[in-house]
Structures are given as C-alpha cells and as structure tokens.
Structure 1
C-alpha cells in the first residue's frame, strides 16, 4: 500500500457509512456504504432506502481527499450515474466522516453536497 495515501486508507478501508445529510441526493435513511481501499484505489458497494444496489470506483487524491464515480439502480428501476469529490475527516466522537460535492452524469441533472458518518458497531 502506498504510504502517502495511508491516512485515507486507514479511515476508509473495510468500514461502513450511513447518510448524515444528503438533501439533494437519493441515498438517505437506510442506505449503507461499505468501502475497500487498495493503495490509492477505492471501491464501494451501497444499498438501502431508495437504492436497490449501487457501486463506486475512485482514487485517493491527497492526504484527506478522494474522488469517485458512482452508479446505482433505484428501487423504482432508474439507472443513475455521477461523480463526487470528497474530504475524509473525524467527528468529535472519533468516527470517520465524509463530505462530498457531487453531480449527476446520467439519468438525472444537478448535484449537491452530502455528508456521511462511520457506522460503529
């Protein structure tokens, strides 16, 4: 694993996240994201809420930044795809947080900002 990207890998690899705020997006209550990091490569699978199944592929771009492409199939049968650029942080409880700026590439228009927080069992 590339040590230049290890802080992001340590905060994301094999961790699950829930939506904290996503007013303009489809993911919401019940949507869970599971990330895997290999060097600077990132993959994620997500589902729940209005998302039947989705996945992401991306890369680590800095000590606390990532960029992703995402696609999903909704529970209504819509296929959507988009991009996002994010910052990895920590909240006061020590949980990893993700803050994204994102936009649609296919199936919808517009974009927004969203926040996610690590699920701790």
Structure 2
C-alpha cells in the first residue's frame, strides 16, 4: 500500500492554488497559495488580495486529508491566526482541489468552509 503522505505530496508539492469559494474568509480574488510537502509535513506561503503575507504549517493526516495552522498579516495591518482541516481532491479537468473547514484562533472569531483549485495555465 502506498504511503498516505506520498499521495498528498504528489498533489500538493510545489503547486500553487487560488480561491474557488471562501465566502466567510479573508483570502479571495488575487490570493495565491504555494505549498511544499516533505515527509508528511506541509508548509506554504500565501499573499495577494487582502493578504499581505501569510504562512501555513501542517501535516498529512490520511490518504486525502490534511490539517493546517495558519497566520497572516493583512494589508490593513491585522495579525490573524487560525486552524483548518482539509481534503485533497481532483476536479473533472484533472486539477488538484482543496476543501477546508476552518476557524479563527486569534484576531477574529468564527469560521467557515472554503475551497481552492490548483493554479494552472488554463485557469
């Protein structure tokens, strides 16, 4: 059986993602996430839109699941932090997708659901 982190690593490592849906969240049009995965450990940076700079750290938790902690500085100088649990998938066009349930830990309250799609030449 293949190592669960290898499947996620193949779908995420050194790939970029954009927001598909994030109605309750801060990231949006113009925000780009760049992921790295090594031995089940996930890291990423993100920026654009309302995000001046953000980072994430997390781990692979299953064959298609991940968990992350994130923090960012907004263009308005807000410092925010939160958590997320996600599923890695593939859409009909073959692009990697990410779907998350998330919540704030610091700087804001509440949470929501969001989805992202791999940034490719055709999207």
Which TM class, normalised by the smaller chain length? over 0.9
- Residue of structure 2 in register with 1:99 after alignment: 99
Unaligned runs of 5+ in 1: none
- What is the number of equivalent residue pairs in this alignment? 120
Alpha-carbon distance, 1:32 to partner: 0.1
Aligned Cα root-mean-square deviation (Å): 0.9
Query: Segments of 4+ in structure 1 off by > 4 A?
Result: none
> In the TM superposition, what whole-angstrom CA distance separates every residue of 1:31-79 from its partner, at most 9, and x where no partner exists?
0000000011000000000000000000000000000000000000000
In structure 2, the gaps of 5 or more residues are none
Give the deviation of 1:5 after TM superposition: 1.3
DSSP 3-state at the match of 1:10: helix
Shift of 1:4: 3.1
Mapped to 2, the partners of 1:77 and 1:11 lie a distance apart of: 33
User: Do the aligned residues in 1 keep the contact of 2:47 with 2:53 (CA within 8 Å)?
Assistant: yes
